[in-house]
Amino acid sequence: MADCLNITDIRAYGYTGLLPEEQTLGQWFTVELKVWLDLRPAAQSDAIEDTYDYSAVIQEIQALIQTSRFKLIERLAEAIATHILQSYAVQQVQVRLTKVSPPVPHFTGSIIVEITRDRPSARSQGIVQI
């Protein structure tokens, strides 16, 4: 599938982290989201019902970041990808999650995890159509 939609710089304050301070005080996260889906229906109809409602997705991702309490950012990225695949008719999702200011001494950079997940096909789920 060649069509894809990118949503960048989704920001939210959350409580994912290994250290107790991260779980209590929280920190900023950003998400870059890429979803693959067929955009032809929306391109032909010009109707929001025929595409991916990215305003709702942004709010859902922000809520996930704000309410989840995981130790690892890998787990938070997986939760976001799983939510997108279960909630929307997309074929594939890529989540790039950034911990903006990780509590690492003498480090001013960011930590980024990037995962790509596909929608499971009926065959891979053990479902055979006759």
Sign, CA torsion 28/24/111/10: negative
Q: How far apart are CA 105 and CA 128, in angstroms?
A: 53
Sequence-distant (6+) residues with CB within 8 A of 17 are 23, 27, 71, 73, 99, 103
99 is catalytic: yes
CA contacts within 13 A on the Cβ side of 130: 0
Helix axes 73-87, 54-67, angle to 10 degrees: 140
Catalytic residue among 37, 95, 97, 99: 99
Q: How far apart are CA 61 and CA 71, in angstroms?
A: 18
Q: Could you list the active site residues? A: 99
